[in-house]
Structures are given as C-alpha cells and as structure tokens.
Chains A and B, each alone.
Chain A
Amino acid sequence: DAKTTQPNSMESNEEEPVHLPCNHSTISGTDYIHWYRQLPSQGPEYVIHGLTSNVNNRMASLAIAEDRKSSTLILHRATLRDAAVYYCILRTTGNNNDMRFGAGTRLTVKP
C-alpha cells in the first residue's frame, strides 16, 4: 500500500505556478519525501527530495509542512513540457528501504 495520497489529476495554465499536494500522515521521523515525474512514454525521473526543510532546485521547490504530514511540489512557471504524472513517495533510512509508487497526479498544462 502506498504511504502517500495525491489528487488523481490537476490542470494548470502555461506560465502559471502549479502547487501539487501530497499527504503522508503516517510519515516517520526517518522518512525522506521524494518527488518523481513521468513524462509520456518515458521512465520516471527524479525531481526533488527533502526531509524537514523546504528545498529548491532548478526544476522545482518542495515545501514541507511543519508536522511533515504533507508536502507540496511547486513548479514556478508551468510549461507544456511539464505535463506528466507526478509521484510523491517516502523513502526511509531504516531497513525497509523500498520505494513504492502510488497512482500519482496527472498534470495537464493548457496553453
């Protein structure tokens, strides 16, 4: 069973910011929050990850709630190439190091 819940789909307009939410209410202290995306006909690709603090990289920003039970992936200016399925998953530092994906959020970007 996936440990995260995400909306099935979201829509955005090109050039506008997109906030993709993820709930992980059962997160433990050793779980890292990872985000991946899968473009059509491609394998998943890494986007960003974090533990407690907000994170920024060239692709996106990750905002983590203070209680860590939810997080938000922020695309600052959506482009048509950002249309993909976005997955939020947890990875633990414990012995159970598996990476199980849920259904993700399908993002549609309208021109």
Chain B
Amino acid sequence: DAGVIQSPRHEVTEMGQEVTLRCKPISGHDYLFWYRQTMMRGLELLIYFNNNVPIDDSGMPEDRFSAKMPNASFSNLKIQPSEPRDSAVYFCASSLGLSRGGELFFGSGTQLSVL
C-alpha cells in the first residue's frame, strides 16, 4: 500500500477563497483523523471518522471548517472562507481499530498558506 496520500502538498491562496484538502486513507482502515499543526498550538485534532461517520468534530475551529468522508477511500477538509490564521500544516491519518493494533499512519501533510 502507498500509505496515506494527501493532496495538494502545498497550497497558497488568498484570504476569502475556498480551500479543499484531500486525503486517501490506507485501504481497509476504518478510522480517519484530521489534524492541524502550528508552532503556537502544536498538533491539534480537528475531527475523526469511524466507518465514514464523523464521531467527534469538537476540534473544528469554527463553522468555516467542514469535513466529509463520502466513502472509505476518500475524505476532504474544506475551509470557506479562508483566513490568514488558518495557515498551518494539515495532516490526515488513518488506522485500524484498537483490537487490530490501532496505530496511526500519517500522510505527508498539506502546507497551507493563506495570504
């Protein structure tokens, strides 16, 4: 398996524009997590899914952020409208349930810059 695949690797956009980040989890994994990392706040959990269903979105900063998982092979995170304070590295991770190990596998991340 190619691992968790995120796209794009880098995104530069202007304030007010819509941003879509994409993630393809490892085949067979039933958990998917979205994280955001900044120097100030470290690695923050935004939302996670189990079997394509959002379980906890309490980490989503505000209504401008939304995430969906339409099927087991794809998830996206949207920011609309984007703001400069959204600039960060966004990571996607997937895992099996704990009974089968539970370790997280992370993608390479998307570096988002909002000007």
Measured CB to CB, the residues of A under 8 A from B are: 32, 34, 36, 38, 42-46, 49, 87, 91-93, 96-104
Cβ contact within 8 Å between B45 and A43: no
Measured CB to CB, the residues of B under 8 A from A are: 31, 33, 35, 42-45, 48, 50, 55-56, 91, 93, 97-99, 101-109
State the total of A-B contacts with C-beta under 8 angstroms.
58
Cβ contact within 8 Å between B91 and A99: no
Within the complex, which residue of B48, B56, B108 is in contact with A43, where a contact is CB–CB below 8 Å? B108
Interface SS, A side: loop
Lowest 7 CB-CB distances: which A-B pairs, in order?
A43-B106, A101-B43, A46-B103, A93-B98, A100-B45, A44-B106, A43-B109
Residue of B nearest to A30 (CB): B98
Cβ contact within 8 Å between A43 and B33: no
Cβ contact within 8 Å between B91 and A93: no
Interface SS, B side: strand
Cβ contact within 8 Å between A46 and B104: yes
In the complex, how many angstroms separate the beta carbon of B48 from the nearest chain A beta carbon?
A: 6
List the B side residues contacting A87 at CB < 8 Å. 43
List the A side residues contacting B44 at CB < 8 Å. 101
List the A side residues contacting B105 at CB < 8 Å. 46
